[in-house]
Amino acid sequence: GAVVSQHPSRVICKSGTSVKIECRSLDFQATTMFWYRQFPKQSLMLMATSNEGSKATYEQGVEKDKFLINHASLTLSTLTVTSAHPEDSSFYICSAMGQANTGELFFGEGSRLTVL
Amino acid sequence: QKEVEQDPGPLSVPEGAIVSLNCTYSNSAFQYFMWYRQYSRKGPELLMYTYSSGNKEDGRFTAQVDKSSKYISLFIRDSQPSDSATYLCAMKTQGAQKLVFGQGTRLTINP
C-alpha cells in the first residue's frame, strides 16, 4: 500500500509552546489529508479535513486557532498545536487519500504529544 | 444511534481459531467499505478494501459486505498472536471525502 510518513513520532514540550507535526505522502499525491486525534482505547476522532491549496475544514468543537493546519503541497500537510496545554496531550494521526477518492485512506504512524 | 456500530470487545480467542469481526451501519448510501488494523501506539493500517457488495479474500483474511442487511464482516482464519490488535471498520459514500469509523474491536489471540 501507499506510504505516509509522520514526524515526529514522539514529542514532549512545555506548556505554552507550539508544536508542529508533519505528514508526508511518500509515493503518491494526496489531494486530501485528514488529521485525527485518538484517546487511549478509543476510536479515531476526526479533527479536520485538509485539501491542498485551500483552508482546512474543521470538525465541530475543534479550535481552528489552536490546531493550525497547512496543506501547501500534494505531499505535505502540517498540524501545529499552538500554545499547547496538558489537555492537548494525545495521539495525533494523519492520513492521506489519493486523487481517485476511492476511499482508500493511508495513515501515518502517529505522533504522541505530551505537554508538561 | 451511531452511523456505524462496532462491538468494542475485548475479544479473546485461542491461536488457530477463526475470528469473526462485524460492523453494522445505518446509511444505505455507503459504497466503500474498509477494515483497518491498528497495533498499540501505531497508526491504522489498511487491511481490506471493498467497493459495494460481495466478498474479498486476501490470504487469511476475508471481507464480506451485505448491503441488504447493512452488515460487514472480517474473518481471520488460522489466527496468530501477531493478529492481536484493534480492528476498525470504516466506510464512506460515493463522492464523500470523510470516512466514518466504527469504534474498533480489540482482539487478542492467545498462544
- Chain segment A27-67, per-residue pLDDT in tens: 888 888 999 999 888 889 999 999 888 889 999 999 999 99
Considering only CB atoms, which chain B residues are within 8 Å of A105? 34, 46, 90, 99
Structure confidence at residue B108 (pLDDT): 97
Of A31, A94, A105, A112, which to mutate for an interface test with B (greatest number of B Cβ within 10 Å)?
Answer: A105
Minimal C-alpha gap between A16 and chain B (Å): 25
d(CA B12, CA B105): 11
Nearest-CB residue to B49 (from A42, A49, A104): A104
Does the pLDDT at position B95 exceed 90? no
For residue range A2-16, list pLDDT tens digits in order.
789 999 999 999 999
How far is residue A47's CA from residue A31's CA, in Å, rounded to a whole number? 17
Residues 32-61 of A with CB under 8 A from B: 32, 34, 41-44, 46, 49
Cell triple for residue A101? 477518492
Cβ atoms of A84 and A58 closer than 8 Å: no
Q: What is the pLDDT of residue B1?
A: 74
Give the other-Cβ count within 10 Å of B67's Cβ: 15
Task: Count Cβ atoms within 10 A of the Cβ of residue B105 and give its class: 0-12 exposed, 13-18 middle, 19 or more buried.
Answer: buried
